[in-house]
Amino acid sequence: MKALMKLQEGPGHVALHEKPAPIAQKGEVLVKIMAAGICGTDLKIRAGQTWSNPPVVLGHEVSGIICALGEDVDGVQIGDRVVCETAQVICGDCYYCHSGHDLMCDKRLSIGYGVDGGMAEYMVARKGILHALPHTVSFSNGAVCEPLAVAVHAVYDTVPVKSTDIALVSGCGAIGLLVAQVVRSLGARVIMTGLDVDIPRLQLAKTLGVEYTVNVETENLQQRVKEVTDGMGVDLAYDCSGSAAAIRGALQSLKKRGQMVQIGLTKPDLEIPYSLFTGRELRLFGTFGHNWVSWEQALKLIATDKVKISPLVTHHFLLDDWERAFAVAENREGIKVMLHPNGLTD
């Protein structure tokens, strides 16, 4: 089968490679991959900027059809449409595995960088990470369930959102646009920030229900926040950028006793105005990934159209055109770029 692989460590070393199709082992299924989204993590793996376990097939935002069952697999059948969580390998015995937080397991290996992922014609997945994809949801939209589950986990599992809240969302990539929609689905109002290069995305955010947008390169964020909140500051802030400047801006935008959720991955060392936390009694929550419940909630949001996915899926490519697809993603020409290893079906 064709598979897009990171072949060795370091910058580059990503290529389309022929390899045997995997075989579903005990407790696993074989999935025919219909759509695989390109994530920032995939770009960093290609650039040698983050960990991977080469040789490994890339891709952790996937959807497809079950085409074979391993031993001791029940509850699913050949022909089922599915999406897959990422924690393919876990110990199954630790506190985190037993409490439903597989991504916290110290022995976890995730599809797409720890073990083979979905930028290939076929992928194996353990039954425990499968979720049913409704027939009303396209494969491309289904592949966006992974970043949406990240957004849902960040919003639902940290700070309760009230309909009277005003929330700041920093960063208008796919995660930011999804977080904004999840917050809006709970009735809160949203201020979204971006840069000059993000103007088309800020415009898109308005069509998705975001009330206020701020280009921080041409507008004063603190002044705009004061105008919107009658001088109080925002109740909640979600940073989806990982940018030091954006994080400082978000903290400074919070009202006293406000709460911030850090979603975007930051550099290991980051200088922030820590004194704000004590003087103004701010609270900071960190989130990573998703869990079973957030996936089910994400699928429900997609199926009920409370979160709109189609406007975010901007480009589609066959797997043979992966280099062009990665270029579109790297150059920010699209928001969510899809690879289709088994043909354009949506």
Q: What is the pLDDT of residues 34-76, one digit of tens each?
A: 999 999 999 999 999 999 999 999 999 999 999 999 999 999 9
CATH number at residue 11: 3.90.180.10
CB of 134 within 8 A of CB of 303?
yes
Total residues belonging to the chain: 346
Contacts for 323 with CB less than 8 Å, ≥ 6 apart:
none
Domain match, 101 and 189 both: no
Q: What share of the chain is helix, strand, coil (3-state, %, to 5)?
A: 30, 30, 40
Which residues are paired to 313 by β-bridges? 336
Q: Under a CB-based contact definition with an 8 Å cutoff, are residues 332 and 38 in contact?
A: no
**CA–CA separation, 303 vs 133, rounded Å?**
9
7 plus 137 within the same structural domain: yes
User: Using an 8 Å Cβ cutoff, are 39 and 60 in contact?
Assistant: yes
Q: Is the pTM of this model over 0.85?
A: yes
Q: How is residue 172 written in tokens?
A: 């208008």
- Could you give the CA distance from residue 317 to residue 311 in angstroms, rounded to a whole number? 17
**Do the beta carbons of residue 278 and residue 255 sit within 8 Å?**
no
In this structure, are 315 and 227 located in the same domain?
Answer: no
Element (H, E) at 83: strand 81-84
Selection from 140, 58, 60, 179 nearest residue 315 by Cα: 140
Model pLDDT, residue 196 = 96
Note the pLDDT of residue 271: 81
CB proximity list for 230: less than 8 A, separation 6 or greater = none
Question: Is residue 325 assigned to a domain?
Answer: yes
Residues 264 and 215 both lie in one domain = yes
Question: Do 137 and 157 fall into the same domain?
Answer: no
Q: Which two structure tokens, joined as six digits, stand for 310?
A: 């189609």
Q: Are residues 107 and 58 in the same domain?
A: yes
**Residue 281, both tokens:** 């009694």
Residue 125 lies inside a defined structural domain of this protein: yes
The reply to whether 34 falls in a domain is yes
pLDDT digits (tens, 9 = 90+) for 328-341: 999 999 999 999 99
Cross-strand bridge partners of residue 190? 167
The count of domains in the chain is 2
* Contact residues for 28 (Cβ-Cβ < 8 A; gap 6+): 70, 73, 124, 125, 126, 127
Domain-terminating residue out of 243, 271, 286:
286
In a domain, 333, yes or no: yes
Query: Are 171 and 279 contained in the same domain?
Result: yes
Q: Phi/psi of residue 109, each to 5°?
A: -125, 125
Q: List the domain range (segments joined by +) for residue 125.
A: 2-144+309-340
Per residue in 229-267, pLDDT tens? 999 999 999 999 999 999 999 999 999 999 999 997 777
Q: Is residue 203 part of a domain?
A: yes
pLDDT at 341: 98
Given a cut of 70, the residues of the chain with pLDDT beneath it are none
H/E stretch holding 322 reads helix 322-330
Q: CATH no. for residue 275? A: 3.40.50.720
Asked if residue 126 and residue 156 are part of one domain, the reply reads: no
Residue 138 and residue 182 in one domain: no
| 297 within some domain | no
Question: Are 209 and 101 contained in the same domain?
Answer: no
**pLDDT confidence of residue 211:** 98
pLDDT of residue 8: 96
Verify that 100 and 189 share a domain, yes or no. Answer: no
Phi-psi region of 233 (alpha: psi -120 to 50; beta: other; left: phi over 0): left
Please report whether residue 296 resides in a domain: no
- Distance, in Å, from the CA atom of 205 to the CA atom of 157, rounded to the nearest integer, reads 23
In sequence order, which residues have a C-beta less than 8 Å from that of residue 91 and are 6 or more positions away? 97, 105, 106, 107
The pLDDT of residue 278 is 87
| Euclidean distance between CA atoms 319 and 303, whole angstroms | 27
In this predicted structure, what is the pLDDT of residue 264?
Answer: 77
**pLDDT at res. 314:** 97
Query: Are the C-beta atoms of residues 140 and 35 closer than 8 Å to each other?
Result: yes
pLDDT, position 334: 94
Q: Which of 143, 154, 240 is nearest to 201 (CA)?
A: 240
On whether residue 294 sits in a domain, the answer given is no
Distance of CA 328 to the CA centre of its chain: 18
Same domain, 255 and 178: yes
